[in-house]
Structure 1
Amino acid sequence: MINLPLIRTSIWGSPNLGIYLKVVGNYLLVPPNVKEKFIREVEEALHLRAVPTKIYDTNLLGIFIAGNENGLIAPAVAGIEEIKTLESLGMELEIINSRITALGNAILANSYGALVHPGLSDEDVELIRRTLKVPVVRGKISGIPVVGSLSVITDKGGIVTPSVSEDELKKLRKHFSVDIYPGTVNDGVKFVKLGLVASKEGVAVGALTTPVELDIITQAFGL
């Protein structure tokens, strides 16, 4: 059996994979009560090892956690046992105490750069820079500050909401040092993180993603 680097799937009947799953380094963070068959399929597509955990006693890992190959960022609302699980990954971990707790939506990062919510403080930005070991800039995409919900970027490529301007797209490609394509998931959803998780080796997308969307995603991530 050939393990394809791209799969269409759903979690608990929902195509919104990016709400519940988070790729950090060589790990795929998953909620603890997901079916084993689903975990195996996504592990094989992304070539990552799944680690079960919660965050803020919820399954919303993709909403609350940010990171890249160098480190991960979690909000101060994370519980003690949840933090212990993240520490067990052996990656540099920073807990940020900010009024902005949905850090997965507030931070967009790969190993070359990070774009963050304009509302994050200077101290927060410096902590992110030191932990992820990349240049960090504040900004919006299409006037929207939750940049991590509008794009998914790896060290090989990325996809961003189609409402991005040409100038923004040019700046994103330069900052993250990869090619980035405008596109959607799940039959027209512009908040692309909701329906997509990606590693350097593969991509998992929501089950409603169309063949046309898949073509763009495949090209964007070099699959």
Structure 2
Amino acid sequence: MSTEQSGELEQTEPEVVATRNYTSTWEKNRWWYIARFSKDYKYFYGHTGGLSAQAFRTRRAHDGYVWETKRKWTQALRTSIDNSDDVGAFLNLTNSYLLVCDEEESDNFCKVAQDDLPDIPVVKTSLAGCRVIGRMCVGNKNGLIVPETTSDIELQHLKRELPDSVEVRTLEDRLSALGNVIVCNDHVALVHPDLDKESEEIVADTLKVEVFRHLIANNSLVGSYCVMNNNGGLVHIDASKTELEDLSSLLQLQLIAGTVNGGNKTVASGLVANDCIAYAGMKTTGKEFLTIETALHFPIHKCS
């Protein structure tokens, strides 16, 4: 084969994006069925209608049938941002949008996420020039609250890229790492007991939620030790059974204690989720994934 022909082949080869491991033996077995389907399809139609192994692991679909089928299996996924398992530091995922840190290394993840979340915008941004946006802001389908130090250019970018129904608002508070001190879904929010009263009102107003001041396992950084969607939540592993029952009753939401990334108790550092899908760090074990999916109660059908 000539160098020119070789070059043409290299150009047509699909781009390789961030890979992940199988989250369970069950998922690995599903790959066998897809591989067999692809082989039979090629025999009858002359081309592969399914997925390559690489495409399966990167969740890039080449066939609508496989995409719709695969969506039912891949509700909690392993991923990384810039080779870091602390995905919660670099992402903010809601039912209306996904914010991703504005780094060149996050481009591959954005491509994968846009396939996983075709109905909501994936927006790259920074906040106050920082990349740890997941710890600096808090939001849900109704709004997004960012620190007062966010620049005008960043605010304009967010307002332009996010849906019109999402209100973007700044908040000035001495507890400036908002993602560490507030956790919410589309209906309720838990906040740090020392959050200013005015800040609490802004949270309730912007996110259209009922706000409660509380601790989790005697920790005031509720945003670091809880991840919730509208179906359930995962909290610090040291939360007692009584505390879980009290919190579940208060929020009208079933909460389960667990960890991420192979035993990390700071669950929000390695996990983000909405009602349809969750992203966790690459070190998250199969047992932890089982707890995550049980806690967040993903629907069997594809979310719109």
Query: 1:40 is matched by which residue type in structure 2?
Result: K
Of the candidates 208, 231, 252, which is equivalent to residue 156 of structure 1?
Answer: 231
* Residue 30 in structure 1 maps to residue 100 in structure 2: yes
Query: 1:160 is matched by which residue type in structure 2?
Result: V
CA distance in 2, matches of 1:104, 1:35: 20
Flag the structure with more relative contact order, 1 or 2, with Cα contacts below 8 A and sequence separation at least 6.
Answer: 1
The DSSP-based 3-state class of the residue aligned with 1:147 is coil
TM-score of the superposed pair, with normalisation by structure 1: 0.94
| Partner residue in 2 for 1:218 | 293
| Partner residue in 2 for 1:6 | 76
| Runs of 5+ consecutive residues of structure 2 not aligned to the other structure | 1-60, 62-69, 299-304
Query: 1:76 is matched by which residue type in structure 2?
Result: E
CA distance in 1, matches of 2:176, 2:220: 14
Deviation of 1:181 (Å): 1.1
Larger Rg: 2
| Partner residue in 2 for 1:144 | 219
* Residue 20 in structure 1 maps to residue 90 in structure 2: yes
Deviation of 1:46 (Å): 4.9
CA-atom RMSD in angstroms: 1.6
CA distance in 2, matches of 1:73, 1:175: 23
Query: 2:290 is matched by which residue type in structure 1?
Result: D
Contact 2:138–2:146 (Cα < 8 Å) also in 1: yes
| Partner residue in 2 for 1:107 | 182
Deviation of 1:76 (Å): 0.5
CA distance in 2, matches of 1:35, 1:80: 23
Residue deviations 1:147-183 (CA, integer Å, cap 9, x gap): 0000100012211111112232123222333222111
CA distance in 1, matches of 2:207, 2:250: 14
The DSSP-based 3-state class of the residue aligned with 1:120 is coil
| Partner residue in 1 for 2:246 | 171
Aligned length, in residue pairs: 223
Q: 1:58 to 1:134 in 2, by over 3 A?
A: same
Contact 1:45–1:204 (Cα < 8 Å) also in 2: no
Deviation of 1:40 (Å): 2.5
Aligned-residue sequence identity (percent) comes to: 35
Contact 1:9–1:204 (Cα < 8 Å) also in 2: yes
Contact 1:42–1:204 (Cα < 8 Å) also in 2: no
Residue deviations 1:59-114 (CA, integer Å, cap 9, x gap): 11111000112211111011111111222222112211111110011101112211
Structure holding more strand per residue = 1
